[in-house]
Structures are given as structure tokens and as C-alpha cells.
Amino acid sequence: MYNPDIVVLSEKFLSNTITDSELKNLELALEDATNLGIFKSIVKDDYLLITDGVDFNGLASFERIKGRISPVRFQQKLKPYFKYAAIFIIALSLGFLIKSQWKSPVVEVSNFVELELEDGSIQRLVLSQTDTVRTKAQSIIGILNNGRLTYQNTSNSKLTGYNIIRIPYGQQFKVQLSDGSIAHLNAGSSLKYPVRFSKDKKRIVSLSGEAFFDVAKNANSPFIVESIVQNIEVLGTQFNVSAYPDDDIIITTLTEGAIKLTEIMNPQNSMVLKPNEQAITNKSKVQFNKTQVRTNPFTSWMDGSLVFKDDDFETIIKKLQRKYDVKIENNNTKLLTQKFTARFDTETIEQVMQYFKISYELEYTIKGNKIRIE
């Protein structure tokens, strides 16, 4: 049976303020599928579950509950992380209840990406197709298959110059470059790169937007990502870069290896990142600020997830527009003063808007790809 206290019990469980009796009540509540679904929606694997301050190890209830949420990472001796607005968590929970009942309107998104060749001509690559991509002269560029363009590792002198791949809102796309490096591009992003890299020379690409790079190792040929005001130099590693033109900052997150960030106009201004470190670059002042992070929230977009971490509503609007290929007009100024922490996985834009409606009693309308918030 649905327990109306499931949200409160879940919050207490995460914040380490739950009592022994409440913990047992939570365990009983989780025997119901609806309660369990709400609980899991609150403690998604994006969130840290803190266990210091309260000794749960001796409680059988805690061990059983922990077994139900095995994807969640448990860490000891960290400061409380669960500081999310309760009203928004409640919205997530209510959203779970309406999720299976709400029929969302169809919002059309583009099913192609654009590839600009070295001669300036543009090809539309349909994501669902498998095809050979060729130049006007019928030279093979690469193979398109399952949302991925793979360039040929060839020394063919006919293939020169740069290509630009552009990803529309609502889509993602992968490019495997001629050296084997892979760029996973997020919605609203573009990447400029050479059709083939010259031997023993720097491998330089230019990014606008967000991408996760898995760089093929080559000690004789450093891989450099140009992103607006900064360069990222690597030999072989994995990292994520978010450098959208309409954002005030660039976020670079390292998952493996090491990278060096350098200001384009002032090479003496640089910073080295190690795994699980992140650099936030202020575009106007070109200041690098480094911090330790869990990388998963910053790379989960590749799996289709949308993660907010203490984000303001303007940032949320940008992310929603990119992911769902919609245009949002916000006339509710109260939302501009709020901060939000949440995660959406398979939710439609209609379900996301329902969460906000339930939380803040706002009104909205959806007409085609346009959303108006009042």
C-alpha cells in the first residue's frame, strides 16, 4: 500500500536523521512497488548516500534496504550531501506516480546531423541509416552506422582539409577520427577536425558545445582541443568538455589520464588536471578553478540522463532546450531565484514540466516545440 510518508522517510534515510523505528517503517514501505519506485527515484546512483554520524551497520533493516539500492555508492566520512529542496524531491516522487498515466504530446526532433566538407558543401547524415559517406568526387570519407561516423585511417592524399560536424538540439552523435580517437557530441554542439591527421604533428580539433573525448594514445602527436578561450592538451586520455557559446563558463572534467589546460591568448596561464578533477574556466577573465568531483554526473548525458546540480533555472532552461529540442519562454520570475538538484533519465519534456508544475504551482503550455511558463 502506498505510504504518504515515503518521501519524508527517504529524506531522513539520506540525511542520517532517521530513527530505528522509522527505518523499520521504511523497510516495510519498500515492500510496496509504488513506494519502492519513489524511493529509487530519490536515491538514484547520481546521489551520494552518506553513512557517517549514524551507526547503521548493526541494523538488519539498513542492510536489507541497502541491498535494494545497490547502484547507489556508499561513502564514509563525508559531509552531508543531501541538501536538496524538499519541495522538488516531492515533485520527483509525485512525478513517479503520474509517469505511467500521462500521455505526452509529440515533440518532433531532428533525425539527422550536418556534415560540412572541406569544400563548404553540406551533407545531412540520417542517424538511423547505415551508409558510406563520400565527397563530391566520390572519395570515401567514412562509414555512417548507428549514430556514429567512422573515418578511415588512410594516407590517401586526396583526403585533406577539415570537416565540421554539427549536432542539432535533441540529438547526440559520435565521430571516430582518423587516428582512432572518439568524440561523443552532445546536443547543440559542433566539432571541427582534419579529415586525417599529419604524422608526428599535433592533432588539433575545435569544439563548440559539449563532448566526451576518448583520445587514442600517441606520444609523438599531442591531441589538442580548442574550446573558445582555452586549449586542452593530452597524449591519450578520457575527459568531458562543456563549452557552449551561450554559457559564461567552460567545464572540463577528467575521468582518466592527465590533461593540461592553457589560455589561448596567454599560454603562461595553465593548469594540469588529474583523474576526478574538474576545471571551471571563466570566459571573461579566463581564470581556471580546480576542484575534486565525482565524474558521473558530468558524463551521464551520454546515456541520455539530464543531471542538475544546484543549478539556477536559466541553466536548466538551456539544458532542457538542448536535450528536448524545444524553445522555452519563462515568465515566472520566482523561478529565477531557485536552485535545483535533480536527475531525469527517460522522462519526456511533458513529464519534466509536470514536476515543476506540481512543485511550484506554475502553469505552462506546450504548442509544438514551444513551451511558455507562467
Q: What is the pLDDT of residues 145-156, one digit of tens each?
A: 989 999 987 655
Percent of the chain with pLDDT over 70: 77
Q: Closest Cα partner for 32 from 6, 59, 13?
A: 6
Query: 152 in the Ramachandran plot: left (φ > 0), alpha (ψ -120 to 50) or beta?
Result: beta
Distances (CA, A) of 214 to 49, 83, 254, 281, 367: 29, 33, 11, 21, 39
Task: Judge whether 32 and 1 are in contact, CB under 8 Å.
Answer: yes
- pLDDT given for residue 43 in this prediction: 60
Higher pLDDT, 101 or 31: 31
In angstroms, the first-to-last Cα distance of the chain is: 36
**Residue 127: predicted pLDDT:** 92
Separation of alpha carbons 287 and 279, rounded Å: 9
Mean pLDDT computed over every residue of the chain: 80
The region of weakest confidence among 89-98, 101-110, 153-162, 311-320 is: 89-98
Which of 88-102, 247-261, 300-314, 345-359 is predicted least confidently?
88-102
pLDDT band at 83 (very low <50, low <70, confident <90, very high): very low
The answer, yes or no, to whether residue 67 has pLDDT greater than 60, is: no
Lowest average pLDDT, out of 45-49, 95-99, 103-107, 263-267, goes to 45-49
300: which 3 cell numbers?
Answer: 551521464
Question: Looking at per-residue confidence, does 23 or 171 come out higher?
Answer: 171
The residues spanned by each domain of the chain are: 6-83, 112-297, 304-373
The β-bridge partners of 212 are: 184, 240
Q: What pLDDT, on the 0 to 100 scale, is given for residue 58?
A: 36
pLDDT, position 160: 73
Residues 6+ apart with CB under 8 A from 354: 95, 98, 102
pLDDT in tens, 183-222: 999 999 999 999 999 887 899 999 999 999 999 999 889 9
3-state helix, strand, coil split of the chain in percent (to 5) is: 25, 35, 40
In the prediction, which pLDDT does 30 show? Answer: 83
- Residue 70's pLDDT is what? 38
Q: Which residues contact 351 (CB under 8 A, 6 or more apart)?
A: 95, 98, 99, 102, 104, 344
105-119 confidence digits (pLDDT tens): 545 567 899 999 998
Q: Which CATH number fits domain 112-297: 2.60.120.1440, 3.40.50.2300, 2.60.40.10, 1.10.10.10?
A: 2.60.120.1440
Report the top-level CATH class of 304-373. Answer: alpha beta
Report pLDDT digits (tens) over 1-33. 767 777 678 767 765 677 888 888 888 888 887
In this model, does residue 55 exceed pLDDT 50?
Answer: no
Higher pLDDT, 293 or 176: 176
65 pLDDT more than 80: no
| Segment (H or E) for 182 | strand 182-185
Give tens-digit pLDDT for 271-291: 999 999 999 999 888 889 999
112-297 matches 304-373 in fold: no
